Amino acid sequence: MAFVNAILNSAVDLLLAPFAGLGPWSGLIAFSCVVAAGFVWLFRVCSDQQALQRKKGRMFARALELLLYRHDMLVSLTAFPRIAAANAGYFRELLRPIAVAVVPSVLLLIQLASWYENRPLAVGEAVLLSADLSSDFPVMEQRVELQSSDELQVETAGLRVPTLNQINWRLRANRPGSAWIELQINDEGLRKSIIIAEGMARVSDRRLRAGFWNELLHPTEPSLPRQSPVEMIRVHYPQRTLFLGEKQIPWIIAFLVLTMVFGLLFGRVFRVSF
């Protein structure tokens, strides 16, 4: 999974980095356009276009039959099974391209989330850092130290929460840059990156212990060692807000709508049936 993440990270960064200083919408539009073009091509390759057109035409014909003979009770009653069969045949043709598109769709959404779910810290802004430890780790007794790069200031000593087996610190951003903190625990140093910047940037809000799902859902940083007593190091970044005029819009909704619009346009241009 780490190899796949490295390839996807590089590809998505290459696409979005040029738009980093132009605001969130420019990168999202460009990303949606590229993804839509890729999915239209994938749909064309993986689907039987002739069968799809034929079954879609049959589906519309059955619906038109019901509309034209809506005053004939017998025709109307017998039309419903034919409409259901036509719909089933049409959706059966869609299953293969949809199944092929599921995995890349999930991977791309995860990648986009690392850019749009949270925003980087601003200079002078404070943030909470938390470390979740294994249930058998003596959180109140074990010595745990925190070091940071010059871009960050550690403002508080570690607040230990035994009920959660968690330690929390408050950090403040001093200047822009790719900062880091390092937990010193059991003679082991565990680093976590922290981004301080204006505009768009890839942000990793947490680094988790190695595992397939953890690596899949959080691809930006390498996982923590499996034998580490630390289960997660999390930076509580501010959530990114995306506005259309004065209305706040979830980034995933904006991405899906843009992708569908571009997909329909590309489908019409390249004569791909959906």
pLDDT, tens digit, 9 for 90 and up, residues 6-27: 899 999 999 999 998 888 999 9
pLDDT beyond 70 at 70? no
Give residues with Cβ within 8 angstroms of 202, minimum separation 6.
9, 13, 16, 114, 115, 195, 220
What is the rounded radius of gyration, in angstroms, for the C-alpha atoms of the chain?
Answer: 25
- Residue 36 in this model has a pLDDT that exceeds 80: yes
- Distance in angstroms (rounded) separating the CA atoms of residues 270 and 252: 26
Kindly indicate the confidence band of residue 77, based on its pLDDT and cuts at 50, 70 and 90.
low
Instruction: Tell me the CB-side half-sphere exposure of residue 103, using CA atoms within 13 A.
Output: 6
The confidence band for 224, taking pLDDT boundaries of 50, 70 and 90, is very high
147 pLDDT above the threshold of 70: yes
Provide mean pLDDT across the span 252-265: 94
Q: Is the pLDDT of residue 190 over 80?
A: yes
pLDDT of residue 119: 94
Region 112-129 average pLDDT: 96
State the pLDDT at residue 123: 96
Residue 74 has pLDDT above 70, yes or no: no
Topology of 126-235 in CATH? Immunoglobulin-like (2.60.40)
For range 26-53, the mean pLDDT: 91
Find out whether 162 and 184 touch, Cβ atoms under 8 Å: no
Q: How many CB atoms lie within 10 A of CB 253?
A: 10
Q: Indicate whether 63 pLDDT > 90.
A: no
Q: Which range, of 65-79, 142-156, 179-193, averages the lowest pLDDT?
A: 65-79
Token readout for 104 is: 């890349």
Mean pLDDT calculated for residue range 261-265: 94
Sign for the CA dihedral angle at 263, 268, 270, 271 comes to positive
Q: Which of 98, 90, 83, 95 is nearest to 56 (CA)?
A: 90
pLDDT at residue 73 tops 70: no
pLDDT given at position 128 = 97
Strand partners for 153: 172
- The predicted model gives 229-236 an average pLDDT of 96
pLDDT tens by residue, 89-111? 888 888 888 899 999 999 999 99
- pLDDT beyond 70 at 71: no
pLDDT in the model for residue 245: 84
Task: Provide the residue ranges of all domains of the chain, joining segments of one domain with +.
Answer: 2-117+247-269, 126-235
Structure tokens at 236: 């509580």
Mean pLDDT along residues 62-82: 69
